[in-house]
Structures are given as C-alpha cells and as structure tokens.
Structure 1
C-alpha cells in the first residue's frame, strides 16, 4: 500500500509541475511570443503599400506595410512578421529605434518592441488617461487609435496623454494621430486629422482651423507634418495642400504657388496633374530641399525657389506616396501605395526594393 500511495503522490506532483510549466509558457507566448519569420524572400513582396521605413544602427532596414505587417531586410533577404508572430497589428504606422537598439513598431492597435528575437506588445490604455503631460517623460511617441490623445512610453509604462482639444466641428474628422515630428528646439509636433498640436515640455499648444487662419470653406484634414532644419513647420493636408508656418506667419504654400486647381472643392476630390493638394508625406533631404508626397500627383521638391514635380515611375498604377524616408547614407526613399520603394539618385528614381 505504501508503495502505491507513494507512486500516486509522485504522479500528482509531476502533473502539478507540468501544469505550472504549461501556464507559464502560455503567458510568455501571449506577452512575449517567440519571433518566428513566416518566410524569406529575395525581393520585397508587399503589395498593400509602404507606410513606414527605418534603417537601424546596424544598417538593417525595417519596412512597415499598410496591412501585411513588417519586413526585415539585412542586405541579403527579407523576413516577414505579422500578428501571427507577435505584432500588435498588421497595419504599421511608425518604426523607430531607441537608445538601447530596440526597434519600436507603432501599429493601428498598440506598439510592439523587438529585442533578442522576440516581440513585446503594449496596448493603448485609453481608460487611464493623463492630462498633465509634464508629469510624464520619454522620447517614444505612438499613435493611440482614433481617440483624443497620444501614447508616450516612459521606459516602463505606455502613458495615454489627452489632447487639450478644441471642440471638433467636423464629424468626419477625429483627433487620431497621423504624423509626429520633432523640431530642432526639442518641441514635439503632433499632426491629427482635426488639428495640429505641439508640446514644448511644459504645455501643449493647439493649431486648429481658427489658429491656422484658414478660410471658412477650407477643411482641415492633416496627414503629415515636418519641422525642418530652418525651424519651419510644414503641414500636409488632404484637400487644401501644404500649409507653412514660419515664425508667426502662416500661409497656404500650395495656393501661393498656384498648385490648387481653381475648381477644387478642397474636400479631398482627386488632384489634377500639376497640383499639390493631398500630401501624405513630407521630408527634408541632406541639401535642405523639402519633398512632398502627393496622393494623386507623385513627388514634389521645393529647393527654396522653385517647386518641381516628378513622376516616380510611369508604369505604376497609383502614384500615391505613403512615406518619404532619409536613410543613414542620406538616400531619399519613397514608399509607394503599391508596395514598392524607390530611391532618388539626384536626377531620377530607381527601384530600391
């Protein structure tokens, strides 16, 4: 009897231990799933559009798609990662690297950080909003869904900061974050559909329809923002073109350069050739030129005097540019709606990926 009791007791202990191990493993899989690539290819296979590009400190490229996850390119082949491998979501909004070499991927449903072969996810916690921005810290900022705030990571927690927003008079617009840029004086410029905000470390300032001195029939629908090396703020709109803030002066850059069609409703209707009305991306190159990516008319360059329009590739079905990125070698890369990436070689565009 004693031997049988001991045997049963031993089996019980082993069963409990195994059960605990299984539970811990499951928790790890949920919170920090092992990073397993779905496939490897010699060429980039995305077709849904390139929304984010980042070259890390080791020279690798991270490429974010519109709805197919992320691709990692090490100079030899592309690897692909989706929500099946641990990403928060397959729609990528931003990619950045922190001071410790971790890669942070902003998605439509939270942020994912890559380190040592695994993803760790941080969701947007809108149920615990913070109104006093200056009581938080951190250099990592993320889209927080179609809500009224932005995510800021402090090294431990993902804080949800509320915008001191004006009343939204347009039901078609939200305060969902569309772009983020940091100026040379350290201010964070945050583009949302309905307004532009900046944070100087102490307080948040609002630039809405009224503060931007827009016409009554102008619909503010911001898709991009750039704080350039000269201290100017470029604002890309989906409908009314480019706005330029320089000191206390605000102008409609597209309108001043006759780049808005006279019959435009300024409500997002298709741009005619030779117009700059729907700007989804803005970047500054190494020579100080400002580049714009238009939804309908391709790439534009402003050299301080002249504005030049470029057709990236006449074979593309769509000329839409989702993102413009300057890599570690000062190459200007253009992420297209069809899933390609082109590089500007100083005169023309050549397919990079």
Structure 2
C-alpha cells in the first residue's frame, strides 16, 4: 500500500515538472520568435543642403555628410537619410565624423560628441577635471575630438569617457596676449587633428602653431608663415598631412618637414626636431593656404583652398582645378579621399563635388 502511494506521488511530481518545463519552453520559444521593436530614426530626403563641409565613408561604404545646422546625412547608394537632434544627436551642427573599430559612428559638435551604433544615438560623458587635464595618454584605439574650436586642448576618448586634455603653455602665448589683449577666441583652439603613420597625434591651433604627441612627450613647433598669411591675416593650422615618403606638410605647400629623432630630455615644452625642405615650386605659393589636404593612392598631394579651387602636386608640377557653380566661385572647406580612392569636396555654398578623373563635378543623387 505504501509502495503504491509512493509511486503515485512520483508520477504526479514528474507530471507537474514536465508540464512546467514544457510551458516554460513554449514561452521561451515564443519570446525568441518575437522580434524586438526597432525604432526607425531619421528622415528620408531627396537632396543635400548647399552647405556641406564634411564627407566621411564608413567601413560599410555608407557616405556621411555634415557641417551645417541641418544634421548628419547618410547615403547608402540609394537612400539619403537625415539625422537631427530630434533623433538623439546632441546638436545638428556637425564638425567632425569618424568611426571606431566596432563600426560605431561618432559626430563631433560644439556641444559634445554623439555616438551612433546603427540604432540609437548616445552622448559621450566628458571628464572636465583639472586632475586629468595633464594626464596625456595614447592607446591604439583612442579617438580624438575637438568639440568646437575654442578649447585649450583636445578631447581623448578611451572607449568609455572623454577626457579633456590641456596643451602646455608655449613661448608665443605672452606675445599673442600682448598684441591681442582682448581677443574673443582662444589662441590654443584646436583647428585640426591628424594621426600620422607612426601613430603620433598632431594638433593644429588657431594661433599658436602645432603640437605633436607621441605617447610619451608633447612637442611643439611654430613658424609664423604657417599661421599668418602674407596679407597679414590669421589663417591658423587648418591642415596637416603626411606623404608617402614620410614628410609632413602643413597648410602651405612651399615647404615640407622631415621629422628628426630627438633624445634630449627637458622638463620644459620641447620643440619638434625637424628639417625644413622645399616643397612645391610655384609662384602662387605665397598666398596658397590649404583648408584641407589629402594624398591619393598615386602619391599626389591634393589641396583645397577656400576661394581658389583645388590644387594638385605630382612632385614636379602644380595643377589647378577651379571650382565653379555656374558663374559663382565655390567656397571650399574640405577634400576627402574615400575607400575607393575617390575624391570629394565639402563646400560652404554649393553642396558636394566629386572628382571624375579630369575635373570636379557637382554630386547629384
């Protein structure tokens, strides 16, 4: 009798457990089959704004456009989608676009940095603390940002947070202040950021020359002709590029710079050890300042000027490409080389231009 009761109890328990796991398994299967709700961001539009300063191509070959107060455009070859602050961008005026090793896209603005993972935008946390402003570091996968153009020093992103770093004071600062005691802008403001083939970071400032950081030391260089034009205006360091022979070009192609080894030690800010050599020979060079530069796969140096078109140096001659929109001179901001060695121009007043092998023509969808 006791044995029968025990058997019945075991059967009942087994049945209850079987029912539980069966139901649980059905629920799990149902959850797996239920797709997650994806929020569609952005608005599909038919054309670009006339002011497109920046072009960037990501690892999936999407083309991104920015540099106005409208937001960031993404073009996948068929559709053009506009993302704005309504979609989560910290602001709609984009001043820089880059990608990390995981495929996330980052947008540099005057208000901060937005990260786009393909589904949503998030704002990066900024560490503004005097205790870390001199803790310069350089890791292979760091990203660097300006966040506007009026900050003393760049922002380094280590994958989690943005750290605001400060440039060491240089000897030109006091001279600048004495000449411009009421300047409304920061002479250390970062105009340009560039990473060379050795992983060194270069920073062009508005009025106080160039800083270089190799992960160990910060060095500095200043040549008046790189910052101030022959007409007396202040141009700032807006473009830096390394050519295939390892020379550094800065703004004006009259000279190129060979960076030399320097094993000296000092507690003060050291100057970059370099050798200045003649760059491109041309009568137009005295007033030729590049807003942006790139090197194509054949080693040609391409330079975009503000109001004097594009210039290409093949090592022996300088070729000029005037850029016109009808009878109007196109005002250039950037030149960009894509993943296929194609060349694009970002402009202030005429949308986007692309090189067709002979000239630059307006890009139309």
- Once the two structures are overlaid, the 10-residue window that deviates more, 153-162 or 135-144, is 135-144
Could you say which residue in structure 1 is the equivalent of 2:306? 295
Give distance in 2, aligned partners of 1:280 and 1:213.
12
**Residue equivalent to 2:190:** 177
**Residue in 1 aligned with 2:87?**
85
The answer to whether 1:311 aligns with 2:322 is yes
The more displaced of 163-172 and 51-60 is 163-172
Counterpart residue number, 1:193: 206
Residue of 274, 282, 288 corresponding to 1:276: 288
1:143 alignment partner in structure 2: 146
Cα offset for 1:65?
2.0
Where structure 2 has 5 or more consecutive residues not aligned to the other structure, the ranges are 1-38, 260-273
Question: Cα 1:98–1:280, aligned 2, differ >3 Å: closer, same or farther?
Answer: same
Distance change in 2, residues 1:222/1:89 (3 Å): same
Tell me the equivalent position of 1:228. 243
- Give the TM-score taking structure 1 as reference length: 0.76
* Bigger Cα Rg: 2
The structure with the largest strand share of the pair is 1
The answer to whether the aligner puts 1:249 opposite 2:271 as a matched pair is: no
Are the counterparts in 1 of residues 227 and 235 from structure 2 also a CA contact under 8 Å? no
Residue deviations 1:248-289 (CA, integer Å, cap 9, x gap): 3236757x522256xxxxxxxxxxxxx523x21111111110
Alignment: residue pair count: 299
Q: Is the 8 A contact 2:136 2:165 kept in 1?
A: yes
Partner of 2:136: 133
Which SS does the other structure have where 1:84 is aligned? helix
Greater mean deviation of Cα atoms: 178-187 or 137-146: 137-146
Distance 1:175 1:285, change over 3 A: same
Residue 86 of structure 2 aligns to a residue whose secondary structure is: helix
Partner of 1:208: 222
**How far apart in 1 are the matches of 2:226 and 2:331?**
26
| CA RMSD in angstroms, aligned pairs only | 2.9
- Matching residue of 1:52: 54
Whether the 8 Å CA contact 2:154–2:190 is kept in 1: the answer is yes
Offset at residue 211 of structure 1 (A): 11
1:76–1:188 Cα change, 3 Å: same
TM-score, L = length of structure 2: 0.74
Q: Deviations over 1:206-264 (max 9, x none)?
A: 11247979999785621111122321111126xxx76532343236757x522256xxx
Shift of 1:41: 1.9
Alpha-carbon distance between aligned partners in 2 of 1:349 and 1:324, rounded to the nearest angstrom: 11
Contact 1:55 1:62 in 2 (8 A): yes
Q: For 1:141 and 1:65, how far apart are their aligned partners in 2? A: 18
CA distance in 1, matches of 2:344, 2:354: 5
- CA distance in 1: counterparts of 2:254 and 2:127, whole angstroms: 33
Distance in 2 of aligned mates of 1:57 and 1:260? 36
Higher mean C-alpha deviation, range 96-105 or range 242-251: 242-251
1:67 maps to which residue? 69
